[in-house]
A and B are shown apart, each in its own frame.
With several copies, the nearest count.
Chain A
């Protein structure tokens, strides 16, 4: 069974949701406390959503100095898979494991609603269950979700196909440049995005279109290439 570490920072609040979605997809989910530096030999590390350290100063700015982040950096440097969802994405940007930054929504208010996103890349460890171009509605819930990066970075992201998720159908909820909802590192092993697929992983919550992200993870072959499960 593929082992997945879900990191809990003080202020994480999607930790259990993510844990259940991972376990529900058939992977071996483990919590790792932010003060631990042992990732329990996890093949995939997930930084879940929430308000680590209250999102004080800047979202993710304080969490990135947590002891566990050294282990995450090492894991990522060795080619290990890391997924940041919402606050996790913010932490990955602050830690410079992903380029760019997430700043306050252009509407200046928190936004909580389902939005349309398109899967732009399916050869990563967490998107292989989808076909390229799949559009689905997934909840977002954030105050600082506006993705920004300098022009060179943006050009590079587009040229290398590193935009993993994009807002579509005119539903960019936060002013993100180029409708970017999620990006990855050059190898596609570190991924971050704002939408919360774990909230749409069970039909009783209205939809289970997000379950594919977790099925992708559970079916991932570390070291090998991602295989399609659809």
Chain B
């Protein structure tokens, strides 16, 4: 089966996120009120051939641990779709 995996890698809480801040300011300047706490990270989408959703998820987690997220600065989360 081919599963579609959506991964989200964001700067760890507490770490400075200048890009998120810049966007927050830009939103305010555009008149969007009530928007805050903006964090910007990477969205990674990929297809994984695996026997089950669990296997696809396990594989994706390993990809995150080894390559897709930097353990020093980033957290990740993922969703597997059939």
* Residues of B contacting A171 in the complex (Cβ-Cβ under 8 angstroms): none
Q: Is the CB of B70 within 8 A of A101?
A: yes
Residue of chain B at shortest CB distance from A61: B67
The reply to whether B70 and A58 form a contact with Cβ atoms under 8 Å apart is yes
Interface stretch (choices B17-25, B45-53, B54-62):
B17-25
A103 interface neighbour in B23, B29, B73, Cβ under 8 Å:
B73
Contacts of B29 in A (CB 8 A): 65
Q: Is the CB of A57 within 8 A of B15?
A: no
* Known A58-B70, A94-B70, A101-B70; contact A53-B15, beta-carbon cutoff 8 A: no
Q: Is B30 an interface residue (CB 8 A)?
A: yes
Shortest CB-to-CB span from A84 to chain B, Å, is 16
Task: Bits for A98-127, please: 1 = Cβ < 8 Å to B, else 0.
Answer: 011101101110000000000000000000
Interface residues of A (CB under 8 A from B): 53-54, 56-58, 61-62, 65, 93-94, 99-101, 103-104, 106-108, 148-150, 175
Please tell me if the beta carbons of B22 and A104 are within 8 angstroms of each other in the complex. no
Between-chain CB contacts (< 8 Å), 17 pairs: A53-B22, A56-B19, A56-B23, A57-B23, A57-B26, A57-B40, A57-B42, A57-B67, A65-B26, A65-B67, A99-B72, A100-B72, A101-B73, A106-B16, A108-B19, A148-B16, A148-B73
* B67 near A56: Cβ-Cβ < 8 Å: no
A108 to B23, CA, bound (A): 11
Say whether, besides A65-B67, A148-B73, A57 and B18 are in contact (CB < 8 Å): no
| Complex contacts, A175 vs chain B, CB 8 Å | 16, 18
